[in-house]
Structure 1
Amino acid sequence: MTENLTEAPSLLRELSTEGLREHAAGALTRARQRSTVLTDAVDDGDLVRQHSKLMSPLVWDLAHIGSQEELWLVRDVGGREPLRPDIDDLYDAFQHPRADRPALPLLGPAEAREYVGEVRAKAFEVLEKAPMEGRRLTEAAFAFGMITQHEQQHDETMLATHQLRKGEPVLHAPPAPTRRGGPLPAEVEVPAGAFLMGTSVEPWSLDNERPAHEVWVDGFLIDTTPVTNAEYVRFLEAGGYDQQRWWSEAGWKYRQEHDITAPRFWWRETDGWWRTRFGVREPVPAGQPVMHVSFYEAEAYAAWAGKRLPTEREWEKAARFDPATGQSRRYPWGNEEPTAERANLGQAHLSPAEAGAYPAGASPLGVHQLIGDVWEWTSSDFHGYPGFAAFPYREYSEVFFGPEYKVLRGGSFGTDAAAIRGTFRNWDYPIRRQIFSGFRCARDLPGV
């Protein structure tokens, strides 16, 4: 390994056994509070309705959260008797496609709420006694962190379902912050060199983030902030959706077959572009990152702008590498946990913040908003790192490896702090637009 390349230590490893239990209990509680907000915001009819064939009914997500918690925390870690073995198959995401789930004999809203409450009570009993060492699944409370992240990931999925539902607004939050101060440079240079990608020390990291490994990255330029709505409108007004030359073959075919003419939830009025956001009809905010665009749209915009999408390793180097120390940080700003001053996370706001609104969250190289606001498409396919080992089950990551999926990084305003870090990897089909996805561009250094 190149001398002086290191990985930032994890703060979780500094906690005592009781400290780990307290931390895990707090993370689980915060996730459940959010699940409750998302499911209590609508009536039973909306809970059982399928708002889009791309998504499950909200009541399926809720009971699935409980089913996974029962499988891993109550049965596996706790060694307890099953509460509802009869519903294991109903809530196995690999057994039933989302489009088919409304036809299943699912738990109703009241029964689902009762079930997840019973499971949580048992899980907390297990947490009080479970050792925090001696077994990889319980080392540093990993299983509890895994289930916390699973619930928060489904909370973000349920938030995306709320975006797809019809009707009056039912979710509310204060507006996201605006940018203050002078203009930022359009691009930041990331110098050539090696850095440590991934992690081998973060206790709650998931299998596809592991292990830490040295990679070389040629020098490149990356956008200081995600591409904004105003910048994307210029692509629209220049006829970007009508000119095949900007699109890949697969992207152009997708655009034509589905008559894609703008980001999802946008439409044109005589006074400009408008969008629907959680039931609110509003003018598209110029300064916010563009959202609800597919990989193909992001790729086409980048080509039109004379740039490209960053690779996954370029994105992570821009987000984590500190050239002064040679260290790969946990987050762009350092090793401390996210705060409201550093990143737009956890549904604190119901939209991205303006580009440049979080100067406290910038990386050492001066790249902004790499965590939160919008998931960022990269040009990379989803694969395991060298030395990858599936844990604790293949279906979390390994079954998705291959060119069908593109990697997204950084999280969105709907991602909780427990479910994001500088090494976290998300993936989806390149056609997906209902997710809170945006992008930033990169380009090679001139003359290189």
Structure 2
Amino acid sequence: MTDDSMADGPGTADTPSGETPAAGKAGTGGHPAGEPAPAELRQRALDALTTARARTAVLTDCVDDRDLTAQHSPLMSPLVWDLAHIGNQEEQWLLRTVGGRPALRPEIDSVYDAFEHPRAARPALPLLPPAEARLYAHEVRGRVLDILDRAAFEGGGPLTDSAFAFGMIAQHEQQHDETMLITHQLRKGPAALTAPAPPADGAGEKLPPEVLVPGGAFTMGTSAEPWALDNERPAHRREVPAFRLDTVPVTCGAYLAFIEDGGYRDPRWWAGEGFEQIRRHEIGAPLFWRQEGGQWLRRRFGVTEPVPLDEPVLHVSWYEADAYARWAGRRLPTEAEWEKAARHDPATGRSRRFPWGDGDPTPGRANLGQRHLRPAPAGSYREGASPLGIRQLIGDVWEWTASDFLPYPGFAAFPYREYSEVFFGSDHKVLRGGSFGVDEVACRGTFRNWDLPVRRQIFAGFRTARDAAPGEGGG
């Protein structure tokens, strides 16, 4: 997803049979069916906003002002732009629109309008310096908490029902936090962030290389998730023929076999403009990899280390993922196939909120929230497996799919077109599942990410699929 967009709100379609009804925290995990009490909604919104702001502080307090104001890549904004943009969006939506308060800093709205200024041009703008940007975001937050304390969460319209606008802003900040984490990965110089290695529970188990996903219809998308964004809505039935899907994401070791077999030199495997892209830019491996003395190394948040063969491959474009799949005699899964594998429970016919069920993500179920600064070894997180035994569908790496980013039947833009609608079409490919850099408030089984097929700086990997044999798995 481009960070140049803003999170949107709920649709209005009825919930088809088979979707979990409004289960879980608003946007983050499991509460019983029925609308939570206002006090519970207020606390959830407060927790989500507080968690996001604490992470923003970690990402911006760990470097000096020079690093905050520098543009570390033309693909990314200066960190200080993201910091003030977070505050400006919060001011516009929660102070002005929800709270009806007068504008605090209307003169900077244009500066922090992501659609008005492409990332490469943002360093030349009259940006707030770091101290002023921090103060501005702090002042906005103080006023927002006062509005939150007094807000009514039903009968006020779709922005305030279920505390949606507060959840929208928490998701927006967390999306920018992931963007700032990507900037840290692109940043040259010594490491500024540290985190423990992820657990490897289950990684040593003998797993089947692929799993059969039976054919048939399932409920895709949502009409019940309180903080779901417009492109996730509405829930609808989707027919998916039987297919086979990798049990775990493609690993660095498996991808290395593609490299060593000349995959980057053979045009047979590359679709569309992919081969021209790698030739023009002299690409021969995932971003941040290099070969030295016969060994493959990678740079990860300022640290150079051997490429870990058992981790899911990271920092590959859609073109690279598609080429590997073709080389392996397979293909990328469609978005509908991915979601069916991640949500559908064949035993009940229900679509779960997550592969493991309707409960919250936990550290034992998924690698989320920047707890770790790398994917876990393939096969980890057995507690997070789907009913069919597929692992790591949530967290670790965003997974490229074969699908273009298109609206669901009955889509309605809310609260404005620029979050999703302007990106629909064949230019952008859909990614699913979230990465280690995604917070749980912005990650669920229905969440849709999208980006250009050339993008490599994002925390993206993939898994592959193939059609089931005739008569296998129904459908």
The answer to whether the superposition gives a TM-score over 0.5 is yes
1:47 and 2:68 correspond: yes
Over residues 223-272 of structure 1, what are the superposed CA-to-partner deviations in whole Å (9 max), with x where a residue is unaligned? 00100000000101111001111111311111111111100000012242
AA aligned to 1:63 is: A
Give the 3-state SS of the residue equivalent to 2:291 in structure 1: strand
1:174 and 2:196 correspond: yes
1:129 and 2:150 correspond: yes
**Residue in structure 1 matching 2:55, options 31, 34, 43:** 34
With over 3 angstroms needed to count, the CA separation of the structure-2 counterparts of 1:8 and 1:158, relative to structure 1, is same
1:140 and 2:162 correspond: yes
**Residue in structure 1 matching 2:325, options 302, 312, 322:** 302
1:78 and 2:91 correspond: no
1:58 and 2:79 correspond: yes
Q: CA RMSD in A?
A: 1.3
Matching residue of 1:417 = 440
Give the 3-state SS of the residue equivalent to 1:379 in structure 2: strand
CA-CA distance at 1:6 after TM superposition: 3.5
Q: Please tell me whether the aligned partners of residues 16 and 237 of structure 2 are also in contact (alpha carbons under 8 angstroms).
A: no
Residue correspondence of structure 1 range 168-317 to structure 2 within 5 A: 168-180=190-202, 181-317=204-340
CA-CA distance at 1:14 after TM superposition: 4.3
AA aligned to 2:105 is: R
CA-CA distance at 1:11 after TM superposition: 2.2
CA-CA distance at 1:2 after TM superposition: 13
With over 3 angstroms needed to count, the CA separation of the structure-2 counterparts of 1:414 and 1:2, relative to structure 1, is closer
Give the 3-state SS of the residue equivalent to 1:406 in structure 2: strand
Matching residue of 1:347 = 370
Task: Could you tell me which runs of 5 or more consecutive residues in structure 1 were left unpaired when the two chains were aligned.
Answer: none
With over 3 angstroms needed to count, the CA separation of the structure-2 counterparts of 1:205 and 1:332, relative to structure 1, is same
Matching residue of 2:4 = none
With over 3 angstroms needed to count, the CA separation of the structure-2 counterparts of 1:348 and 1:399, relative to structure 1, is same
Q: Please tell me whether the aligned partners of residues 16 and 235 of structure 2 are also in contact (alpha carbons under 8 angstroms).
A: no
Give the 3-state SS of the residue equivalent to 2:466 in structure 1: strand
AA aligned to 1:429 is: L
Q: Please tell me whether the aligned partners of residues 251 and 309 of structure 2 are also in contact (alpha carbons under 8 angstroms).
A: yes
Q: Please tell me whether the aligned partners of residues 8 and 329 of structure 1 are also in contact (alpha carbons under 8 angstroms).
A: no
Over residues 288-343 of structure 1, what are the superposed CA-to-partner deviations in whole Å (9 max), with x where a residue is unaligned? 00000000000000000000000000000000000111100000000001000000
Between Structure 1 and Structure 2, which shows a larger proportion of helix residues?
Answer: 1
Over residues 346-404 of structure 1, what are the superposed CA-to-partner deviations in whole Å (9 max), with x where a residue is unaligned? 00000000011100000111110000000000000001100000001110000000000
With over 3 angstroms needed to count, the CA separation of the structure-2 counterparts of 1:256 and 1:122, relative to structure 1, is same
Matching residue of 2:124 = 103
Q: Which has the higher contact order (CA 8 A, sep 6+)?
A: 2
Matching residue of 1:436 = 459
CA distance in 1 between counterparts of 2:387 and 2:291 reads: 39
Matching residue of 1:67 = 88
Matching residue of 2:409 = 386
CA-CA distance at 1:8 after TM superposition: 4.4
Matching residue of 2:29 = none
Q: Please tell me whether the aligned partners of residues 244 and 466 of structure 2 are also in contact (alpha carbons under 8 angstroms).
A: yes
1:7 and 2:17 correspond: no
Q: Please tell me whether the aligned partners of residues 372 and 411 of structure 1 are also in contact (alpha carbons under 8 angstroms).
A: yes
AA aligned to 1:176 is: P
CA-CA distance at 1:281 after TM superposition: 0.3
AA aligned to 1:127 is: L
Give the 3-state SS of the residue equivalent to 2:427 in structure 1: strand
CA distance in 2 between counterparts of 1:324 and 1:19 reads: 32
CA distance in 2 between counterparts of 1:440 and 1:161 reads: 25
CA distance in 2 between counterparts of 1:99 and 1:65 reads: 18
AA aligned to 1:99 is: A
CA distance in 1 between counterparts of 2:465 and 2:334 reads: 9
Matching residue of 2:354 = 331
Residue correspondence of structure 1 range 155-166 to structure 2 within 5 A: 155-166=177-188
Over residues 89-147 of structure 1, what are the superposed CA-to-partner deviations in whole Å (9 max), with x where a residue is unaligned? 00000000000000000000000000000000011011011110111101100000000
Over residues 400-420 of structure 1, what are the superposed CA-to-partner deviations in whole Å (9 max), with x where a residue is unaligned? 000000000000000001100
Residue correspondence of structure 1 range 361-376 to structure 2 within 5 A: 361-376=384-399
1:397 and 2:410 correspond: no
Give the 3-state SS of the residue equivalent to 2:255 in structure 1: helix
> Which moves more between the two structures, 175-184 or 6-15?
6-15
Over residues 140-195 of structure 1, what are the superposed CA-to-partner deviations in whole Å (9 max), with x where a residue is unaligned? 00000000000000000000000000100010000112243421110000000000
CA-CA distance at 1:15 after TM superposition: 2.0
Give the 3-state SS of the residue equivalent to 1:395 in structure 2: coil
CA distance in 2 between counterparts of 1:115 and 1:245 reads: 53
Q: Please tell me whether the aligned partners of residues 375 and 409 of structure 1 are also in contact (alpha carbons under 8 angstroms).
A: yes
Give the 3-state SS of the residue equivalent to 1:396 in structure 2: coil
CA distance in 2 between counterparts of 1:179 and 1:152 reads: 27
Q: Please tell me whether the aligned partners of residues 6 and 326 of structure 1 are also in contact (alpha carbons under 8 angstroms).
A: no
CA distance in 2 between counterparts of 1:232 and 1:431 reads: 18
* TM-score normalised by structure 1 residue count: 0.98
CA distance in 2 between counterparts of 1:126 and 1:369 reads: 38
* TM-score normalised by structure 2 residue count: 0.93
With over 3 angstroms needed to count, the CA separation of the structure-2 counterparts of 1:242 and 1:159, relative to structure 1, is same
CA distance in 1 between counterparts of 2:17 and 2:216 reads: 12
Identity rate of aligned residues, in percent? Answer: 65
Q: How many residues align?
A: 448
AA aligned to 1:139 is: D
